[in-house]
Amino acid sequence: MSLGIPDFRSKGTGLYSQLENLGLSDPQEVFDISLFREDPSVFYSVAKDILPSSKKFSPTHAFIRLLQDKGILLTNFTQNIDNLEGHAGILPEKLIQCHGSFATATCIECGYKVECEKIYYDLKAGKVARCDRCIQRIRDVKPGSKRKRSSNGSSGPRKKRQSYEDSTDDEEDDIAVAGVMKVHITDQS
């Protein structure tokens, strides 16, 4: 757990050991694109625990940066998703992040890409991050015209309101069926 980021596979203490309560047949499913499309809240409930808390990097990362600065580094391959190499200043053209990273997120509906800092607070809260571009497109729909509405991000029927207090027009009710921001650490498709 260097720099406070948990490992994934250590028995008993690794992230995968801690995911048994999710009821997945394989803990790696939390990063599966099919499950993400079906229910992004599963990924977001876990992302808060693996999200790097700062842009600190280790002396090893500083050394890799030194190799780059001296013109010796050809390519830096990493299996880590913490983007610490990016924080250390390794150039994108010199960096291969084999499992993706927390550097960017892309809307699964419209393809809009943002730096993860843009959705950091949603990630940290375990809240499904929504696409600002999709939200704006929905808001731009002319008043009186019909639009798809969903309270849970699914294409199913809308849930009925329980009471007047619950009837406040919250932003999530106006989100298109997709429009979820996907961090680039799941299977790409």
Binding site members: 107, 110, 131, 134
| Under 8 Å between Cβ of 161 and 168 | no
The Cα 7–Cα 53 span in angstroms is 14
| Under 8 Å between Cβ of 18 and 10 | no
Which residues lie below 8 Å from residue 147, measured CB to CB, with a gap of 6+?
138, 141, 174, 176
Assign 76 to helix, strand or coil.
strand
Q: Are strands 76-78 and 113-115 parallel, antiparallel or unpaired?
A: unpaired
**Residue 20, CA distances (Å) to 15, 25, 33, 44, 90 in order:** 10, 9, 19, 16, 36
Does 99 qualify as catalytic in the annotation?
yes
| Under 8 Å between Cβ of 89 and 65 | yes
3-state DSSP helix/strand/coil % of the chain, to nearest 5: 40, 10, 50
Residue of 61, 87, 99, 184 with catalytic role: 99
Annotated binding-site residues for Zn(2+) read 107, 110, 131, 134
Active site residues: 99
